[in-house]
Amino acid sequence: MIPFVDLKAQYEDIRDELEPELLRTAAEAHYILGENVPLFEQAFADYVGVVHCVGVNSGTAAIQLGLEALEIGPGDEIVAPANTFVASVLPALRLGAKVVVVDCDEEGLIDVPAVEQALTPRTKAVVAVDLYGQTFDADPLIRLCDAHDVSLVEDACQAHGATYHGRRAGTFGRFAAFSFYPSKNLGALGDGGAVTTDDEELAERVRLLSRLGEATKGSHTVVGTNERLDTIHAACLSVKLRHLDRWNAARRQAAGWYQEELADGPVRLPRAMPWGDHVWHLYVVRTREREALRAALGEAGVGTGIHYPLPLHLQPGLHGALGYREGDFPVAEARSAEQLSLPMFAEIRRDQVAQVAAAVRAHAGSAAAAR
Ligand SMILES: *Cc1c(COP(=O)(O)O)cnc(C)c1O
């Protein structure tokens, strides 16, 4: 059996370092906003290369609080790519903004020329996604947003440690949102997230909003919410952050193995763009026979995922709010029908990758024989 992700293997990798820290934090009993929270925030800001990091309780909360700090609401428009996780746009919808969807390119990344077409005088922000572990083409999008006085928001939830011309993911926009969902490249023991930014005012607004709007003890100056990062998660994240580069290197190596093993083309392989380090949150191949391949891999004991089976505009719960039709975003729609995520995690071994690849090839062979 080769799981799609193996969080137990990751735990075993750092158990000896992690457990004393978790026990110490539990015994210290400073569960809410204990010292681990500012320590982790500083360490993560330094790692990303920004001045401010605010820990929050999910990636979704990070996006929502950042947009709220930018005062985005009814009457405003944000632009977002069709091929992403719904959490990229749920916050804007919940704030009452209109979400204008654009198509993606062949690698699933936001199509920058399409963004330019989608801008209107009401556009307040572009939410661009560092998808599957690689950044979008940031420089042209930064220039476009600057020229139109639109805020660039970076959804970096899948790209902890990725780079673009030497700059780390999390540094490109007015703010970036990170998720520490357990299976992300940097994961907590449950939900967690962070906002990173160089904008001090924005960071303070996010901090205030996430902490019930409490400016000083007992004095609540804005209508905030409770979306703080728990101390126990910050403690875990501080330990794991020290291993992130090593884990990302292991993911890159695993991606290289897949590339070698599957070079003869039974499926279409993902492409790492030349502008920086891909951190392979997901290894997403494409095939017209996605459902059959997925079933065959399942029978061979190989876990897979689909990211994502429906583009945003065809999600049943979003369809009405977005107002698009099937056919509106053909690249994203084709990807949705064809993409399949193969097992990818830092601890995956070469023989496991070889086994997955053999199962992919075996299915391609039997499918060809059946034709
Ligand atoms: C995981 C993820 C989110 C949301 O993060 P949560 O911590 O699960 O709320 C947002 N956007 C993308 C692209 C993600 O992968």
Instruction: Work out whether the CA dihedral 171, 177, 181, 184 comes out positive or negative.
Output: negative
Per-residue pLDDT band for 364 (boundaries 50, 70, 90) equals confident
Q: Mean pLDDT over residues 327-349, rounded?
A: 98
Residue 57: CB within 6 Å of ligand 1? no
Rounded to the nearest angstrom, the distance between the alpha carbon of 312 and the centre of ligand 1 is 14
- Cα separation, 81 vs 335, in Å, equals 13
Residue 133: CB within 6 Å of ligand 1? no
Q: Which atom of ligand 1 is nearest to the CA of 88?
A: 11
User: How much is the pLDDT for 184?
Assistant: 98
User: How much is the pLDDT for 368?
Assistant: 76
Q: Which atom of ligand 1 is nearest to the CA of 63?
A: 10
Residue 64: CB within 6 Å of ligand 1? no
pLDDT tens profile 112-134: 999 999 999 999 999 999 999 99
Q: Which atom of ligand 1 is nearest to the CA of 130?
A: 13
Rounded to the nearest angstrom, the distance between the alpha carbon of 187 and the centre of ligand 1 is 11
Strands 77-81 and 123-129, bridge-based pairing = parallel
Residue 179: CB within 6 Å of ligand 1? yes
Residue 83: CB within 6 Å of ligand 1? no
Q: Mean pLDDT over residues 237-266, rounded?
A: 96
Amino acid at 148: H
Residue 248: CB within 6 Å of ligand 1? no
- Cα separation, 170 vs 47, in Å, equals 10
SS3 track for the chain: CECCCCHHHHHHHHHHHHHHHHHHHHHHCCCECCCHHHHHHHHHHHHHCCCEEEEECCHHHHHHHHHHHCCCCCCCEEEEECCCCHHHCHHHHHCCCEEEEECECCCCCECHHHHHHHCCCCEEEEEEECHHHCCCCHHHHHHHHHHCCCEEEEECCCCCCCEECCEECCCCCCEEEEECCCCCCCCCCCCCEEEEECCHHHHHHHHHHHECCEEECCEECCCCCECECEHHHHHHHHHHHCCHHHHHHHHHHHHHHHHHHCCCCCCECCCCCCCCCCCCCCEEEECCCHHHHHHHHHHCCECCECCCCCCHHHCHHHHHHHCCCCCCCHHHHHHHHHEEEECCCCCCCHHHHHHHHHHHHHHHHHHHHHC
Indicate the top mutation candidate among 109, 130, 131, 158 to test ligand 1's pocket, ranked by most ligand atoms within 8 A of CB.
Answer: 158
Residue 128: CB within 6 Å of ligand 1? no
Rounded to the nearest angstrom, the distance between the alpha carbon of 289 and the centre of ligand 1 is 28
Q: Answer whether residue 369 shows pLDDT above 90.
A: no
User: How much is the pLDDT for 241?
Assistant: 98
User: How much is the pLDDT for 295?
Assistant: 98
Q: Mean pLDDT over residues 346-367, rounded?
A: 94
The alpha carbon of residue 259 and the mean position of all alpha carbons in its chain are separated, in whole angstroms, by 22
Q: Answer whether residue 281 shows pLDDT above 90.
A: yes
Residue 25: CB within 6 Å of ligand 1? no
Relative orientation angle of helices 244-261 and 350-370, to the nearest 10 degrees: 30
Q: Mean pLDDT over residues 50-76, rounded?
A: 98
Q: Is 345 exposed, middle or buried (0-12, 13-18, 19+ CB in 10 A)?
A: buried
- Cα separation, 281 vs 246, in Å, equals 14
C-beta atoms surrounding 51 within 10 Å = 13
Q: Answer whether residue 172 shows pLDDT above 90.
A: yes
Q: Answer whether residue 196 shows pLDDT above 80.
A: yes
Percent of the chain with pLDDT over 70: 100
Q: Answer whether residue 371 shows pLDDT above 80.
A: no
User: How much is the pLDDT for 46?
Assistant: 98
User: How much is the pLDDT for 265?
Assistant: 79
Rounded to the nearest angstrom, the distance between the alpha carbon of 196 and the centre of ligand 1 is 15
Per-residue pLDDT band for 361 (boundaries 50, 70, 90) equals very high
Phi-psi group of 63: left, alpha or beta (phi > 0 → left; psi -120 to 50 → alpha; rest → beta) = alpha
Per-residue pLDDT band for 365 (boundaries 50, 70, 90) equals confident
- Cα separation, 46 vs 232, in Å, equals 20
Amino acid at 67: L
Q: Are 340 and 290 in contact (CB under 8 A)?
A: yes
Burial 6-16, CB ≥16 within 10 A → b, else e: beeebeebbee
Q: Mean pLDDT over residues 50-62, rounded?
A: 98
Residue 185: CB within 6 Å of ligand 1? no
Residue 155: CB within 6 Å of ligand 1? yes
Q: What is the dihedral of CA 293, 296, 301, 306, to 10 degrees?
A: 30
Q: Answer whether residue 69 shows pLDDT above 80.
A: yes
Rounded to the nearest angstrom, the distance between the alpha carbon of 63 and the centre of ligand 1 is 9
User: How much is the pLDDT for 303?
Assistant: 98
Residue 87: CB within 6 Å of ligand 1? yes
Residue 344: both structure tokens together: 């990818």
